[in-house]
Amino acid sequence: MNNFTYDITTIIHFGIDQLKNLADMKASGSKVLLVYGGGSIKRNGLYDDVMQILSENGLQVTELPGVEPNPRIESVRKGVELCRENELDMVLAVGGGSCIDCAKVIAAGACYDGDAWDLVLDGGKIEKALPVYTVLTLAATGSEMDRFAVISDLEKNEKWGTAADAILPVMSVLNPEYTYSVSPKQTSAGTADIMSHTLENYFNNVKGAYLQSRMCEAILKTLVHYGPIALHQPDNYEARANLMWASSLAINGMVSYGAGVGWCVHPMEHELSAFYDITHGDGLAILTPFWMDHALNAETAWKFGEYGRNVFGITGDDDMEVGRQAIECTREYFKLLNLPATLSDVGIDSTHFDIMAEKAAAGCEGSFVPLSKEDIKSIFMAAL
């Protein structure tokens, strides 16, 4: 097990009727930037509920609506400007991961003397940030309880992740009911995202990170069990609750502390989204099994064997064979969630593979199996 520092200070209010805890935002001042997306929170009443609680607690609101699914640097810049102009004290994101990611970089940008894109390219430049609060409406990215944010500049076909202590949310409200209205497509894509975060942490070769691997399996089993239920029974509280809490635990450090390796499917997917603006979870569902095909070999078979036995209950002594079956189970699982299975399914051809593979390779350093530009290109080709 590697050395690590556990430091997760985000307070999570989980469950029904927890929105009232937004009253605690008063501790950070009185002027709030409210960041949200396409307006679904207006249709389902959450916007009104939030505004009422903020108003009852004397919190003044400036709004930044319309944050995109792959949040863009232009939205961040707009938010930073609003914070500066109005001398805002804090940022509240009400929405999914995109919305929260945007809010985080706004919060950092408001305290940075320069263009916010600098902070996307280099998290080390984020020294402080306005306090970030969130109300989560989509179980997916885990941004509600982590230090990461992913922002795109589509003009440059760039999509990068950044990270800093200062952008860890102070408090997040997680009410599974808020995800009842998430579409089947987004439910599946979100579940694939959680699955991918867990797998990125799970497939590591850190000696003796046993407990961490078993915790990953706990999350993976939960996704396998509840993903299809949430898809077909959108208002199943148990399913939504388990997916929602899994989204936070998959990426907040709980399963990676002591077991960290470089991620690889995410950097590869970021190139798909950067060039084609596809749904992040769709890209992950497509690439994951093809990455597994590439990663399974005599040296790594033990880990795939664990995966097959402990997550899918596959029996047998031959790690390679169990591993192969586990990859098929993974494929079948994503199919069951009606997720796309190939790049052609989402309209991607080989036009930009060369540059995409080159950029992805830079992000895959230190991953479970080393990935060169050529390796990544061959994974893209297999996934066509």
Question: Is 234 near its own copies (CB under 8 A)?
Answer: no
- Find the part of the chain contacting its own copies (CB under 8 A) among 178-186, 191-199, 222-230, 268-276: 222-230
What's the one-letter identity of residue 251? I
Return the structure tokens found at 15.
């469950």
Question: Is 14 near its own copies (CB under 8 A)?
Answer: yes
Question: Is 254 near its own copies (CB under 8 A)?
Answer: yes
Return the structure tokens found at 47.
């916007």
- Find the part of the chain contacting its own copies (CB under 8 A) among 45-53, 54-62, 250-258, 274-282: 250-258
Angle at 98 between CA 280 and CA 231, to 5 degrees: 60
Residue 61 φ then ψ, to 5°: -115, 130
What 3-state class would DSSP assign to 93?
Answer: strand
Question: Is 317 near its own copies (CB under 8 A)?
Answer: no
Cα–Cα distance measured from residue 338 to residue 351, given in angstroms and rounded to the nearest whole number: 26
Q: Which of 122, 127, 238, 318 binds its own copies (CB under 8 A)?
A: 238
Cα–Cα distance measured from residue 137 to residue 154, given in angstroms and rounded to the nearest whole number: 25
Minimum distance, C-beta of residue 347 to its own copies, in the bound complex (Å) = 35
Write each residue from 169 to 188 as x if it is in contact with its own copies (CB under 8 A), else as -, in one continuous string: -------x------------
Cα–Cα distance measured from residue 312 to residue 30, given in angstroms and rounded to the nearest whole number: 50
Cα–Cα distance measured from residue 195 to residue 110, given in angstroms and rounded to the nearest whole number: 33
Minimum distance, C-beta of residue 122 to its own copies, in the bound complex (Å) = 25
Minimum distance, C-beta of residue 298 to its own copies, in the bound complex (Å) = 23
Cα–Cα distance measured from residue 42 to residue 383, given in angstroms and rounded to the nearest whole number: 38
Beta bridge partners, 261, equal: none
Question: Is 7 near its own copies (CB under 8 A)?
Answer: yes
Task: Using the minimum distance from each CB to its own copies, give the nearer residue, 9 or 297.
Answer: 9
Q: Which of 20, 42, 156, 214 binds its own copies (CB under 8 A)?
A: 214
Task: Using the minimum distance from each CB to its own copies, give the nearer residue, 23 or 218.
Answer: 218
Question: Is 274 near its own copies (CB under 8 A)?
Answer: no
Cα–Cα distance measured from residue 141 to residue 42, given in angstroms and rounded to the nearest whole number: 22
Question: Is 257 near its own copies (CB under 8 A)?
Answer: yes
Beta bridge partners, 94, equal: 36, 135
Residues at the interface with its own copies (CB under 8 A):
1-18, 176, 207-208, 210-211, 214-215, 217-219, 221-222, 225-226, 237-238, 241-242, 245-246, 249, 254, 257-258
